Structure 1
Amino acid sequence: MTESNSAKSGPAEVWITGIGLATSLGEGLDANWQALQERRVNVDERTFAPYVVHPFAPVNFDSQIPKKGDQRQMEAWQRIGTYAAGLALDSAGVKGNKEILSRMDMIVAAGGGERDLAVDEGILTAQAKGNVAPNFLNERLMGDLRPTLFLAQLSNLLAGNIAIVHGVTGTSRTFMGEETAAVDAARIALARIVDGQSDIALIGGAQNGERKDLLVLYEFGGFNLKEQFAPIWTRTGHPGFALGSAGAFVVLESKAHAQARGARPFARLTGVVGDHARRKEPGQITHSLEALWSKLNVTSDKVAVITGATGAEPATSEERAFLAAHSGHAIRATGTAFGHTMEAQFPIGLALAALSISRGTLFPPNDSSGFEIEMSTPPTQIVVVGTGHWRGEGMALVEAIS
Structure 2
Amino acid sequence: MTETTASNQGPAQVSTEVWITGIGLATSLGEGLDANWDALNQRRINVDEKGFAPYIVHPWAQVNLDAQIPKKGDQRQMEAWQRIGTYAAGLALDSAGVKGNKEILGRMDMVIAAGGGERDLAVDTAILNAEAQGNSAPGFLNERLMNDLRPTLFLAQLSNLLAGNIAIVHGVCGTSRTFMGEEAASIDAARIALARIAAGQSDIVLIGGSQNGERKDLLVLYEFGDFNLKDKFAPVWARQDNAGFALGSAGAFLVVESKAHAIARGAKPFARLTNVVADRSQRKQAGDVKATLEQLWSKLGKLRGNGAIITGATGAEPVTSEERSFLSEHRDFAVRATGTMFGHTMETQFPLGLGLAALAISRGALFPPNDSSGLEIEMSKPPAQIVVVGAGHWRGEGMALVEAIK
Corresponding position of 2:381: 377
Gaps spanning 5+ residues in structure 2: where?
A: 1-13
Report the alpha carbon displacement of residue 117 of structure 1 after superposing the two structures with TM. Answer: 1.3
CA distance in 2, matches of 1:37, 1:11: 35
Report the alpha carbon displacement of residue 120 of structure 1 after superposing the two structures with TM. Answer: 2.4
1:52 aligns with 2:56: yes
1:76 aligns with 2:75: no
Corresponding position of 1:150: 154
Match of 1:321 among 325, 338, 343: 325
Deviation readout 1:240-281 (Å, 9 max, x if unpaired): 100000000000010011011111100000100000000111
Deviation readout 1:101-144 (Å, 9 max, x if unpaired): 11111000011121121232234445555777897766655665
Going from structure 1 to structure 2, the CA distance change for 1:134 and 1:289 (only over 3 Å counts) comes to farther
After TM superposition, which residue ranges in structure 1, 4 or more long, deviate above 6 angstroms? 130-136
Deviation readout 1:128-177 (Å, 9 max, x if unpaired): 55777897766655665443422870110110111111110011100011
Native 8 Å contact 1:18 1:250 kept in 2? yes
Corresponding position of 1:30: 34
SS in 2 for 1:47: strand
CA distance in 1, matches of 2:210, 2:122: 24
CA distance in 2, matches of 1:311, 1:346: 15
Native 8 Å contact 2:210 2:250 kept in 1? yes
1:66 aligns with 2:70: yes
Match of 1:273 among 271, 277, 283: 277
Q: TM-score, normalised by structure 1?
A: 0.94
Corresponding position of 1:207: 211
CA distance in 2, matches of 1:341, 1:165: 23
Corresponding position of 1:87: 91
CA distance in 2, matches of 1:72, 1:140: 21
Trace 1:107-122 onto structure 2 (pairs within 5 A).
107-122=111-126
Which shifted more, 293-302 or 197-206?
293-302
Corresponding position of 2:246: 242
CA distance in 2, matches of 1:391, 1:139: 38
1:220 aligns with 2:224: yes
Corresponding position of 1:189: 193
Identity of aligned residues (%): 78
Corresponding position of 1:169: 173
Trace 1:250-399 onto structure 2 (pairs within 5 A).
250-399=254-403
Gaps spanning 5+ residues in structure 1: where?
A: 1-9
* Code of the aligned partner of 2:31: E
Match of 2:43 among 25, 39, 42: 39
SS in 1 for 2:47: coil
CA distance in 2, matches of 1:144, 1:62: 28
Q: TM-score, normalised by structure 2?
A: 0.93
Native 8 Å contact 2:90 2:99 kept in 1? yes
* Code of the aligned partner of 1:265: P
Native 8 Å contact 2:287 2:322 kept in 1? yes
CA distance in 2, matches of 1:373, 1:383: 16
1:18 aligns with 2:22: yes
